[in-house]
Amino acid sequence: MYFLGMDVSTTATKALIADEAGRVVGSAASEYAFETPRPLWSEQQPDLWWQGARQAIRAVLEKTGIPNNEIAAVGLTGQMHGLVLLDERGKPLRPAILWNDQRTQAQCDEIHRLIGKERFTQITGNLALAGFTAPKLLWVRENEPDLFARAAHVLLPKDYVRLQLTAGYAMDKADGAGTVLMDLRNRTWSDEVLEALAIPRAWMPELFEGPQITGYVTEAAARETGLAAGTPVVAGGGDQAAQAVGVGAVKQGIIALTLGTSGVVFASTDGPIIEPQGRLHAFCHAVPDKWHLMGVMLSAAGSLRWYRDTFTPGLSFDDLLLPAEKISPGSDGLFFLPYLTGERTPHPDPLARAAFCGLTVRHTLAHCTRAVLEGVAYGLKDSFELMKSSGLASIEQVRISGGGARSSLWRQILADIFNCELVTVNTTEGAALGAALLAAVGTGFYPDVEHACEKTIQITGITRPDPETAERYARSYPLYTALYPALRPTFTASGN
């Protein structure tokens, strides 16, 4: 018995097949582009996702040689927040407006005016931000009223692929929460928000928990993908929730840290926890009756890549980091503020900027390198501190993945700054594997998501904090947190 996980990302659709033990037996991907037709805009044609899905599924079935009748179920994950606006026949009315589109600040302000910022945060768990789905709907209504008048359905990117597979309109609750149109506590659409924003309730699809079956592969979809007709398709989850399942962050106290170009701190919670000022995202988890808090750093490993490409182009990351191991913790008073592309958590400020602070003639390239690693770690610690102050009782373990996790030096710095055990796990496929595990639970092969993770995900490495170093970083952390407030007037005045 095998399970297929599909990840509909911004740049490619990936299909992965896992066996009953959670081992990945094959994967394939089909790439595509997105468009930026105007400043701040980011759009994509929905049919690219379906084309990518067809190609990736056929490719992985061919590569593995697994008969299609041995694929027990399909799980879906993908990019969150994108607006897919469909007519009554299920045809896209316009290109999807993606998660990284930034055109809707005026509509975010309007949402806060109509509902009240505090009330909106208490209902949805979040501020209205330009990346979310709700303000995109308001933008279409204001700027493309003829298209808006023809709308009949709202979906998210992966759910458009689901529509093609099953001919059904459905959405999981984790991804649905990212539309900021849901009542977070009750895990359903918010009539109060929909009515205040004049968005018809009939447009919104039925919501499902992550492992629930939402439909079955149709005869037409079977012909196009190579899957067997009648194969169950489970709800799945948005990419971050599925990623957390893929590394086993499904219990309160276990944190998933993704150290990629951006950095994501993901904490599973047993109940809805809302940061009062909306500085953390609060969504439903892909695990039934679980929620999560999430902090996002825009330039995590991206900071190190920028630093390497700018100052030591052509040098390998290993050679760049080796001298930094000899620099003492704290980089002799040098700090790096990692806001190269603005920031989201804890400062939702597109004008936030990066800076080296405390440079002297004593500092070398190795000092600067270590300061970059430490600055990113301090920035990620901001999310941990917000989670604790919001009511997260304890942080027992951090499960790290992403390109930055390959550096033993960076893992040690993170463990010391977090003052928490940091572990790596045997899975590197992240969201797509999480979707496959949700599919396995949906068929009843595993009784629940926690059991599926316990059986398939093992710890492969442990990095423990050094008490003396952790105390040293604890004394330096307040100096780091003082940098943004001190420099913000300069960032705002420059406007670059």
Task: Answer for the pair 179, 185: CB distance below 8 angstroms, yes or no.
Answer: no
Task: Name residues whose C-beta falls within 8 Å of residue 409's C-beta, 6 or more positions apart in sequence.
Answer: 321, 324, 325, 373
CB of 157 within 8 A of CB of 46?
yes
Chain-centroid distance, C-alpha 462: 24
Q: What is the residue-wise DSSP string for 424-466?
A: EES---THHHHHHHHHHHHTTSSSSHHHHHHHH--EEEEEPPP
Q: Is the peptide bond before 350 cis (omega within 30 degrees of 0)?
A: no
Q: What CA–CA distance (Å, rounded) separates 431 from 399?
A: 14
Structure tokens at 463: 């990095």
Cα separation, 463 vs 400, whole angstroms = 10
Torsion of CA 232, 235, 239, 245, to 10 degrees: -80
Q: How many CA atoms lie within 13 A of 90 on its CB side?
A: 14
How many of the other CB atoms lie within 10 Å of CB of 206?
A: 12
Asked if residues 3 and 73 have their Cβ atoms less than 8 Å apart, the reply is yes
Q: From CA 197, how far away is CA 134, in angstroms rounded? A: 9
- Is 239 annotated in the active site? yes
Q: Which helix (H) or strand (E) holds 256?
A: strand 254-259
DSSP 479: H
* Backbone dihedral angles phi then psi of residue 62, each to the nearest 5 degrees: -70, -40
CB-based contact 441:455 (threshold 8 Å): no
CA distance linking residue 177 with residue 306, whole number of Å: 33
- Judge residue 191's burial from the number of C-beta atoms within 10 Å of its C-beta, 0-12 exposed, 13-18 middle, 19 or more buried: exposed
Q: Which of 239, 319, 448, 466 is catalytic?
A: 239
Alpha-carbon separation of residue 33 from 8, 14, 48, 96, 355 (angstroms): 12, 14, 9, 13, 32
The catalytic site residues sit at: 239
